[in-house]
Amino acid sequence: MPAILMLAAALLCRPAEAVPRIAQVIALPGAGVELVGSGFGAQCPSCEVHADYGMGWRYALQVANWSDTRIVARLPDLNSALEVAVTVHTPDGASPSARARVRRERVPAKDMRDAVRGDAMGLRVFEVASSLKVGDSGEENFDVSQPEPTCRQASLVFDQARLVFVRQRFAEAAIVAAPPAGCSACALLRVRWYHEPTGHIDLQVHVYQRRVEGICAPQLRH
């Protein structure tokens, strides 16, 4: 039998379950994710789990456990999409993609609706106060930047800012410019405020952050 016919016959006779398939994706505590399915085989040097974070790039996940029907891997928040497509890659081919959700960790997780003393539970706090009898107004700029996360190291990035009034009389304040969520090297957060001659203002700027992990170049897949 010609070699090409023998190869075709071998492929036709290969069990369908040899091709990896994901039947279920289960979120685990922390950044863990469990893939349940079939045809994963034994872990090998070229076996990988890819997460497609969108924007034209995929990431090879760290695998903690691999068996023919179950894979446990880390699905980190890389400061990108939270809805991703995961695929299992083995020497027998790639599985159809399955949807998974990245766990988003906001710091602090709880909304702080009242004034706090200093930084509380990871909340960054800036303050503005004025009680001049002739009235007053101003614009304050706050730097909410944080160091860029490095490979597999967690870091905090800006997520959201809110104003909380401690005392307010005939006064107003607003955030007039805020950097985009997810920034590390952020533009300044700008707050504009005023109070009338018989008024006063005392407020806090509460800055919420998001914990993300740095990208490792060797794990990028194109």
Strand ranges, E, within 39-178: 48-52, 58-60, 63-66, 70-74, 83-90, 93-94, 98-101, 105-107, 124-130, 136-142, 154-177
What structural domains and CATH numbers belong to the chain? 3-103 (2.60.40.10), 105-213 (2.60.40)
Whether 221 contacts 60, CB under 8 Å: yes
Question: From CA 84, how far away is CA 82, in angstroms rounded?
Answer: 6
* Per-residue model confidence as pLDDT tens digits over 146-165: 999 999 999 999 999 999 99
3-state secondary structure of 129: strand
Question: From CA 222, how far away is CA 207, in angstroms rounded?
Answer: 35
Q: What is the pLDDT along the chain (222 residues), one digit of tens a residue?
A: 454 444 344 444 445 457 999 999 999 998 999 999 999 999 999 999 999 999 879 999 999 999 999 999 999 999 999 999 999 999 999 999 999 999 999 999 999 999 998 777 889 999 999 999 999 999 999 999 999 999 999 999 999 999 999 999 999 999 999 999 999 999 999 999 999 999 999 999 999 999 999 999 999 997
* Per-residue model confidence as pLDDT tens digits over 173-186: 999 999 999 999 99
pTM of the model: 0.85
